[in-house]
Amino acid sequence: MAERIHLSPPDVGELEEAHVLAAMRSGWVAPLGPDVDAFEREVAGRVGVRHAVAVNSGTAALHLALLALGIGPRHRVLVPTLTFVATANVVRYTGAEPVFVDCDPRTGNVDPELVAEAVARWPGEVAAVLAVDLYGACAEYRSLLPICDGAGLPLVEDAAESLGSLHGGRAAGSFGRAAALSFNGNKIITSSGGGMLLTDDTAIATRARHLSRQARVPGREFDHTDVGYQYQLSNLLAAVGRAQLRRIDGMLERRRELRERYAKFFAAVPGVRLLGADDRQSNCWLTPIVVDPELAGWSADLLGAHLEAHDIEARPLFTPLHLLALYAGCDGLITGAAQRLFRTGLALPSGSALTDAQVDRVHAAISAFLEARG
């Protein structure tokens, strides 16, 4: 039986093993340690920001960013509706409420015109804008930043999926007052589990670091000034992340190769386009296709079921958050663009660890599906 092909499996090997072994032999097996410090410096240097705070997830990094900006009860935060649920959950963690904003149908990223409309509709209530770099492609920061600056609102970048991407030549994770990276197992690089808050603002970095360590007062063993969180990153996991960071350029090249191959494959298939295909600076974390059933003669769901039958993982796009019962009743500016992408989109295997044989198997399965439909 053929081995299952996953969407974006971890890409780890001997270098990661050597880094973890060295960290274990150093004695730094508990949270924090020299690998955490070095990982922070190296990621900050890669992205081009002054400060990085390593934590145990991208969600934790987003939560800390909002707390450090003073977001709390009676505030509203603008959140793209087409994203993973954690982007909205962190708003609720602070006691604030998300306001959902629809997307640009070409890219899936939040529509800046709708953001400007939302800021004007809820003056004095919107306290921040949370933008997401969807599937690795940066949001339209050249439009979003002037909107936020003009309204005096902080912008937070959810760059969980976009390490290695650029926007106007500037690195993902360097936009706004703060940004969050994820090092989950399916991301561009992984530390098994982990994340990082990035910022040029010393006060934000200091506050986030304090809260991530249970808000302990330095030099006093059990004195705490705030409600803190156990968000620290393990030194062992940071060692994995450092090894991954050394290999990131090759990983990015591989994902871009896979994206280009999909682009050539579907160029001759009526009714199919790659989401955000015009963005040449994306890290190509995942390659989602969008299918027009009337032109193609088949749906994204049918292709997904066919691939699953061949033990190949493909996923629908994120469920728009305003459709979740969890967030029923939240305000938003909804055009239907995210819902259409959700109904017609499918993310295909895109991981840098995929072998040539696995990639050939994916394309053969898609070809067989298309041939069966004439």
The CATH number given to whatever domain includes residue 367 is 3.90.1150.10
Task: Clarify whether residues 240 and 256 are in a common domain.
Answer: no
Q: Is residue 24 part of a domain?
A: yes
pLDDT-derived band of residue 357, with 50, 70 and 90 as boundaries?
A: very high
pLDDT of 177 > 60? The answer is yes
Task: Clarify whether residues 328 and 225 are in a common domain.
Answer: no
pTM assigned to the model: 0.96
Question: What integer pLDDT is reported at residue 231 of this predicted model?
Answer: 97
Question: What integer pLDDT is reported at residue 1 of this predicted model?
Answer: 57
pLDDT-derived band of residue 215, with 50, 70 and 90 as boundaries?
A: confident
Measure CA of the first residue to CA of the last residue in the chain; give whole Å.
Answer: 28
Q: Is residue 260 part of a domain?
A: yes
Separation of alpha carbons 337 and 95, rounded Å: 28
Task: Clarify whether residues 259 and 191 are in a common domain.
Answer: no
User: What are 42's two structure tokens?
Assistant: 């190296």
Using DSSP bridges, classify how beta strands 272-274 and 76-80 pair: parallel, antiparallel or unpaired.
unpaired
Q: Is residue 2 part of a domain?
A: no
Mean pLDDT of the region 76-81: 98
Separation of alpha carbons 363 and 303, rounded Å: 12
Q: What angle do CA 70, 71, 75 make, to 5 degrees?
A: 135
Domain count, the chain: 2
Question: What integer pLDDT is reported at residue 185 of this predicted model?
Answer: 95
